[in-house]
Amino acid sequence: MRPLLDLLKERKLIRWVVAYLPVASLSAFLILACSEPPSWRDAVAAGWPYSLDAAAVEATGGIVVSTDRYASSVGADVLKAGGNAIDAAVATAFALAVVNPEAGNVGGGGFMVIRLADGTTAALDFRERAPGAASRDMYLDETGELTDASRVGHRAVGVPGSVAGLWEAHGRFGALPWSSLLAPAIKLAEGFEVRERQAKSLLHYAEDLAQYPHTAEIFLPGGEPPAVGDTLVQADLARTLRRIQQQGRDGFYTGETARLVAEEMERHGGLITEQDLASYEAAWREPVEFSYRNHKIIGMAPTSSGGLTLAAMLKILEGYELSEMAWHSPAMIHLLAEAWKRAYADRNEYLGDPDFVDNTRVQLVSSEYGAERRASISLERATPSTEVAPGLGPYEAEQNTTHLSVVDPAGNAVSMTTTINSFYGIKAVVGGAGFILNNEMEDFSAKPGTANMFGLVQGEANAIAPGKRMLSAMTPTIVTRPDGSLFFVVGSPGGATIITNVSQNIMNMVDYRMNVVESVHAPRLHHQHLPDRIDYERGALDSATIAALEAMGHTLRERHSEQSLYPFIGDIQAIMVLPDGTRVGVSDPRRGGAAVGYHRQ
């Protein structure tokens, strides 16, 4: 007290205040203006099951992250042996077809996005195609109602594309011999020790798998799913993989394997013929590339809707300073939901196989179109989805998919997602060939305007036609920094939720500066236009946030079912490259894959 009294007496305080007040006010303003927004961590509930501080796998050499540890190890070994990212992706994908039979496949299809260390990009579409005998209304009954045949039984199977895709990618970019990339998968098919992830999955789906004798023989040996520590042998699959090893794509699309597929179809009323298989081709597409806050996003072009829908979402959201808004605050979630529903409205109406429809890609990736869509968003009120029409005028589900991300020592990167649609596809293996068949025909608009198993209501652009590819939501994505360096490689299973999931990880890392562990482990949300509802993972939002969003007109639903094996949203497999080149890999804890990397010698 004494010094203050002295100051007052000498009238020094007044002089001090007059001299320093402007400086003090400016400093206070600057401190407030530059201070961090409230930490996004405050929005993560104490009981949230996934640690934001979990250890990641770091590597100065190569790294592979996939939905299964066996498969990631196969890929990392390929990199160590001098293979590049494309070689590793091919070997990992074949291994996933063995150890991740619920989703990994040779009987399905997928998409691969590539960015080479020199900046060259490429995108490969190896999505399944409708058989030649398919027709627009093939899944409607005599009264015009939708049946379940688009997802149950052999008429639900699309002509598989995975082997053609892996063959094509390797032919253009691979370095190691093709046969060496099949060898680890063949060894695994001859017998691997079942781990917890496989045991849990096979137990959960045992009843479904029991309905087809060929499937049961393999996956329920002795009538029971294998337990942890048992050896699972897939001898027919090993033989199929050996044919592919020796003959390349012809080992699948012609000869013995094609004959076995055609016979399986004839036995069960399916449509795929040897001719459908022989004529299947993977297709190189121009990658979807756009900027988001000066980062470059490299995404998948149709037949996946992933890249364009991601662009449509992020171009709307780029107009808001998200980083100044508290993460997962009602105001922020409101904007995400409004952007997502508009992007999905466009996706569902316009997108389809580019060999059949014009995908209007230029509009969806443009900042102008983003601004136009943004103009209809109210900051206070949710727009009902019924009032969110597609913006360009009229146009004349369980989620079972698998993702892998690779960065090799040279900095080449691959992001690849493949699927057989439902868990274990149609649940039937091809007799004598040992691989599970997809039920990808479900991804078409079997009845335009009616919801499919993911609740997606899609339009004419995605109607069934012979030889056409069905629209996908798979979103393999690669992001570079404003200086052009590789930032991260990301993708996920999750059906319709894949695109919003990837968009959240981009926002987490770009807007909220999360590291890759924080981003992947953080709670997730989803909105897909119809149904008009924000889904949130159990524990993701507190009651005050839910109430505030409801007051704005949103409907919310906790996405959790005790019956579901994987009740959370998605299964991100991501690699972040730090500015010093260290690769940091994270496999989403929601399902239980693995990152496997190694250090440079």
Q: What length is written for the chain?
A: 601
Q: How far is the CB of 473 from ligand GLY (least distance, A)?
A: 4
Nearer to ligand GLY, 131 or 494 (CB): 494
Q: How far is the CB of 402 from ligand GLY (least distance, A)?
A: 11
Instruction: Extract the tokens encoding 193.
Output: 């020790």
* Identity of the residue, 420 or 574, whose beta carbon is nearer to ligand GLY in the bound complex: 420
d(CA 129, CA 121): 25
DSSP label of 412 = -
User: CA 598, CA 580: separation in Å to the nearest integer?
Assistant: 16
Closest contact distance (angstroms) between CB of 180 and ligand GLY is 30
556-559 β-sheet, strand order: 525-526, 534-537, 556-559
From the candidates 360, 401, 417, 480, which is the catalytic residue?
A: 401
| Intra-chain end-to-end CA distance of the chain, in Å | 65
Pair 462, 351: CB distance under 8 Å: yes
| Least distance between ligand GLY and beta carbon 350 (Å) | 16
C-alpha to C-alpha distance for 459 and 136, rounded to whole angstroms: 12
Q: Is 481 left (phi over 0), alpha (psi -120 to 50) or beta?
A: beta
Residue 400 CB, nearest distance to ligand GLY (Å)? Answer: 7
Closest to ligand GLY by CB, 348 or 421? 421
Residue nearest to ligand GLY (CB): 472
* Three-class secondary structure of residue 118 per DSSP: coil
Q: Report how far residue 8's alpha carbon sits from residue 333's, in angstroms, rounded to the nearest whole number.
A: 53
Q: Cβ neighbours of residue 164 under 8 Å, at least 6 residues apart? A: 126, 249, 252, 253, 280, 281, 282
Annotated catalytic, 401?
Answer: yes
Of 419 and 445, the one with the shorter C-beta distance to ligand GLY is 419
Strand partners, 457: 451
Q: For ligand GLY, give the closer residue by CB, 300 or 549.
A: 300
At its nearest, how many Å lie between ligand GLY and the CB of residue 560?
21
Is the Cα torsion angle 76, 79, 84, 86 positive or negative in sign? Answer: negative
3-state secondary structure 481-522: CCCCCEEEEECCCCHHHHHHHHHHHHHHHHCCCCCHHHHHHC
Nearer to ligand GLY, 75 or 493 (CB): 493
Closer by beta carbon to ligand GLY, 332 or else 474 = 474
Dihedral angle computed from the Cα positions of residues 348, 349, 352 and 355, in that order, rounded to the nearest 10 degrees? -170
Spell out the SS3 assignment of 476-487. CEEEECCCCCEE
Q: How far is CA 426 from CA 103, 235, 317, in A?
A: 11, 20, 38
**Cis status, amide bond into 22, omega within 30 of 0:** no
Q: How far is the CB of 493 from ligand GLY (least distance, A)?
A: 8
Min separation Cβ 394 and ligand GLY, Å: 24
Closest CB to ligand GLY among residues 129, 554: 129
Indicate the residue among 405 and 438 with the shorter CB distance to ligand GLY.
438
Tokens of 261: 């597929």
Question: Tokens representing 143?
Answer: 């009264």
Binding site for ligand GLY (CB under 6 A): 401, 419, 421, 443, 472-474, 495
| Residue 53 Cβ vs ligand GLY, minimum distance, rounded to whole Å | 32
Pairing state between β 400-407 and 63-66:
antiparallel
Alpha carbon distance 337, 332 (integer Å): 9
Is 251 within 8 Å of 243 (Cβ atoms)?
A: yes
DSSP summary character for residue 226: P
The residues carrying an active-site annotation are 401
